[in-house]
Structure 1
Amino acid sequence: MIAALQAAPQGATAVFERYYKHPVNKVWAMLTDNALLAKWFPELRVQDLSAGGSMKFDMGNGHFEVMEIKDMIVNSILEYTWGNDRVRFELSPDGDCCRLLLIESITEITGHTAKDLSGWHVCLDVIGVLLDGRELNNRKQVWEQWYAEYTRLVADFRQG
């Protein structure tokens, strides 16, 4: 399901919702265990998993961006800076399953916003596929399909 994009006091908020047929601690591990994180977001690493700690993003050109962890509660909340924005993962049990909300606080809608949103969408799908013990074969093709959807979503948002 496509994210909800809504106006916020300073920019916009994109909210993704996923349900995984796995317990919260397994989903939490996908977000915080570097070996598992590398399977769905190879550029991202946990440097210090604590509020005030950091995530590290490999820009691919020998440079790394350090992103501060703003909020962290084990098996529940992980929020960190994402450039000028923030991403927040909220996990909650739903029976034997896990409900995940990814909330991206976007300070400014730019030409890159649709790319980021479609990227997060595919990442969340890949987490589910990996948790189920499968693989997503053509991630780029799936991203391109969602990019078209998010380009429309962002255009509609801009038009009000």
Structure 2
Amino acid sequence: MTAEITKNPTGYTATFDRYFEHSPDRVWQLLTDNHKIHRWFSGLQMEEEGESGHLTLDMGHGKKKELPITEYKKGEVLAYEWGEDHVRFELSPDGQGTRVKMAETLPDITSETPKDVAGWHVALDIMEAILDGHGIERSSEWERWYPEYKRLFESMGVDFA
């Protein structure tokens, strides 16, 4: 199922609502432990955890982009800047597992937006696969979801021409 895309006064929000059959602690580790982060998002790294902390994204060729943490509640909420966008993960216990709500706030829609949102979709799929102990093919999954997101944004009147 695709993310829910909503228009708001400052742009758009892509919201993913997932359920992982694993404890909030195990899911939190995927978001904050670099050994685990690198398994689902190569190049993303927690540099300093906490309210005044930040992550970095390796842009290649020795360049890193700093991603300041904008909201932090250990084990529950991790939010950070993502270029012009903003990403927020919220974890809550749900039965034996964890409800994961991930939202990307998008001030502008560009031709890159469906690619980015499809990338987050696949990243969440990869997180679940890691927790479940099996593999997933990142590029084939992305190729499956990117056209879906492109159509979704186009159905909202966004023209990528």
- What TM-score, normalized to structure 2? 0.96
Q: Deviations along 1:68-110, whole A, 9 cap, x unmatched?
A: 0000011100000000110000000001100000011101010
Q: 1:154 Cα shift?
A: 1.1
Q: RMSD over aligned Cα, in angstroms?
A: 1.1
**1:107 alignment counterpart:** 107
Structure 1 match to 2:58: 58
Distance 2:47 2:4 in 1: 30
Superposed counterparts of 1:19-98, under 5 Å: 19-98=19-98
Shift of 1:43: 1.1
SS state at 2:60 partner = coil
1:158 is paired with a residue of what secondary structure? coil
Note the C-alpha offset of 1:158: 2.7
Report how many aligned residue pairs link the two structures.
Answer: 159
Instruction: Please identify runs of 4+ aligned residues in structure 1 that moved more than 6 A.
Output: none
Q: Give the distance between the partners of 1:25 and 1:146, measured in 2 at CA.
A: 28
1:108-134 deviation line (CA, Å, top 9, x unaligned)? 010000000000000000000000011
2 CA distance for matches of 1:158 and 1:45? 35
Letter in 1 for 2:147: A
State the 1:18 CA deviation.
0.7
| Structure 1: 5+ residue stretches without partners | none
User: What's the TM-score once normalised by structure 1's chain length?
Assistant: 0.97
Give the Cα–Cα distance (whole angstroms) in 2 for the partners of residues 158 and 104 of structure 1.
Answer: 19
Percent identity of paired positions between Structure 1 and Structure 2: 41
**2 CA distance for matches of 1:8 and 1:101?**
18
State the secondary structure of the residue aligned to 2:72.
Answer: strand
